[in-house]
């Protein structure tokens, strides 16, 4: 991705060269930049790049042509909407990007960048009435990932979470914090005293999540597995490559029965059949390259989630298999243990970038 840094006195180095060759006095240019920046902050019109200069978003990186310049005075907004079967929270960034989060299951169902491109996928068979967990988006798997002693993927995705905090009108990056604590219903399934706190933060071409799991018991340890079952929107699986530190990684093929454990031979993965593979202790980011959308999604977990799961119901038309790919951040190859009155944190971030041009 091409990175363009602001020149101290003009939009870019190229802009400055153009301006200087035309003979525009530097003092006049600086005055124009100052007036335009001040007017933009008050009125909000789009300033040409050569007029932004040091009075705009100084020092910012514009990666792959994806990031939109916005005035420092521009702020985010948050709305709680209750006009459908399920309540939802709409986050808006001043760049124009938006995200939608449902308190039911604390499920993120949409992330649109400022140019209107959707990053998240919701399956065509999803129920949005609360009758079952939302199929698609980014639902939670807690306190169990996959099948086991508890219901499939646990219960957190089927519960109504409480809105604990919303960003205010003075915040640049919009966010919502949701909370789920143990109750009569959860204790029937999993007799533990706990609290989950989940924050979704919206930026211009990025979105991040932070999960805090607290053990509220004074004496007993708490064990669980967890994951974000993320559905990423793709143009077609035929156009997609998944790139990461896969080669040499320990992989568990969960599509097989019984599961088969081995070592991955490739750095670049393609989906051509039903897939359910867990890559254990995978470092760094995983990049989903999509030539149909001409973009890359960089998915990484700065803390907590050490495993990555690739899942696709390839060939299942009822799910709309060709519209999405699940690349999931997980802590599932071994159980997480939290001591009494302690906590565990896990985060995820996705960045949207333009595919670099192929070298001729």
**pLDDT of 5 above 80:** no
Does residue 258 have a cis peptide bond before it, meaning omega lies within 30 degrees of 0?
yes
Give kind and range of the element (H or E) at residue 30. helix 26-43
Nearest-angstrom CA–CA distance, 66 and 43: 23
- pLDDT score for 127: 95
Q: Which of 349, 91, 350 is nearest to 210 (CA)?
A: 349
Q: Are 296 and 337 in contact (CB under 8 A)?
A: no
Mean of pLDDT values over 60-88: 74
Q: Assign 56 a pLDDT band (cuts: 50, 70, 90).
A: very low
Q: How confident is the model at residue 72 (pLDDT cuts 50, 70, 90)?
A: low
What's the rounded Cα separation, in Å, for the pair 292 and 308? 24
Question: Band of the pLDDT at 68, cuts 50, 70, 90?
Answer: low
Question: Which residues does residue 278 pair with via DSSP β-bridges, in sequence order?
Answer: 252, 309
Q: What is the CA radius of gyration of the chain?
A: 23
Give tens-digit pLDDT for 280-318: 999 899 999 999 999 999 999 999 999 999 999 999 999
Decide: helix, strand or coil at residue 158: helix
**Which pTM value belongs to this model?**
0.81
Q: What is the pLDDT of residue 360?
A: 52
Structure tokens at 25: 């006095």
33: enclosing H helix or E strand: helix 26-43
Q: Positive or negative CA dihedral for 234, 236, 240, 246?
A: positive
Span 60-68, average pLDDT: 48
Could you tell me which of 180, 204, 42 has the C-alpha nearest to residue 119? Answer: 204
Mean pLDDT computed over 59-71: 51
Model pLDDT for residues 191-204, shown as the tens digit of each residue? 999 999 999 999 98
SS3 label, residue 97: coil
Distances (CA, A) of 26 to 8, 136, 203, 218: 12, 54, 34, 67
Least trusted range by pLDDT, from 4-13, 225-234, 252-261, 283-292: 4-13
More confident residue, 33 or 98: 98
Helix (H) or strand (E) holding 350: strand 343-354
In whole angstroms, what is the distance from residue 239 CA to residue 270 CA?
Answer: 9
Distance between CA atoms of residues 112 and 120, nearest Å? 8
Say whether 47 sits in a helix, a strand or coil.
coil
């Amino acid at each position: 991705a091409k990175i363009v840094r602001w020149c101290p006195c003009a939009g870019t180095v190229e802009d400055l060269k153009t301006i200087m060759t035309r003979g525009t006095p530097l003092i006049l240019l600086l005055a124009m930049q100052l007036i335009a920046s001040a007017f933009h902050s008050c009125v909000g019109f789009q300033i040409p790049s050569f007029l932004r200069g040091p009075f705009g978003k100084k020092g910012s990186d514009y990666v792959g042509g994806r990031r939109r310049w916005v005035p420092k005075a521009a702020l985010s907004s948050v709305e709680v909407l209750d006009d459908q079967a399920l309540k939802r929270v709409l986050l808006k960034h001043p760049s124009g990007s938006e995200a939608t989060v449902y308190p039911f299951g604390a499920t993120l169902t949409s992330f649109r960048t400022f140019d209107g491109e959707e990053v998240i996928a919701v399956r065509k068979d999803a129920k949005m009435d609360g009758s079952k967990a939302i199929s698609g988006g980014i639902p939670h798997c807690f306190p169990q990932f996959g099948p086991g002693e508890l219901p499939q993927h646990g219960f957190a995705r089927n519960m109504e979470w409480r809105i604990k905090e919303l960003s205010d009108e003075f915040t640049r990056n919009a966010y919502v914090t949701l909370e789920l604590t143990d109750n009569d219903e959860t204790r029937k399934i999993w007799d533990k005293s706990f609290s989950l706190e989940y924050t979704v933060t919206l930026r211009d071409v990025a979105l991040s999540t932070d999960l805090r799991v607290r053990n509220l018991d004074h004496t007993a340890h708490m064990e669980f597995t967890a994951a974000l079952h993320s559905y990423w929107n793709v143009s077609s699986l035929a156009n997609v490559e998944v790139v990461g530190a896969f080669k040499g990684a320990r992989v568990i093929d969960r599509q097989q029965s019984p599961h088969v454990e081995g070592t991955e031979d490739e750095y670049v993965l393609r989906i051509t059949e039903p897939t359910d593979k867990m890559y254990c202790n995978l470092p760094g980011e995983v990049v989903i390259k999509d030539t149909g959308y001409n973009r890359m999604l960089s998915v990484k977990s700065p803390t907590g989630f050490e495993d990555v799961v690739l899942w696709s119901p390839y060939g299942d038309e009822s799910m709309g298999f060709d519209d999405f790919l699940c690349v999931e951040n997980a802590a599932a190859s071994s159980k997480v243990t939290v001591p009494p009155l302690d906590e565990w944190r896990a985060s995820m971030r996705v960045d949207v970038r333009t595919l670099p041009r192929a070298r001729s």
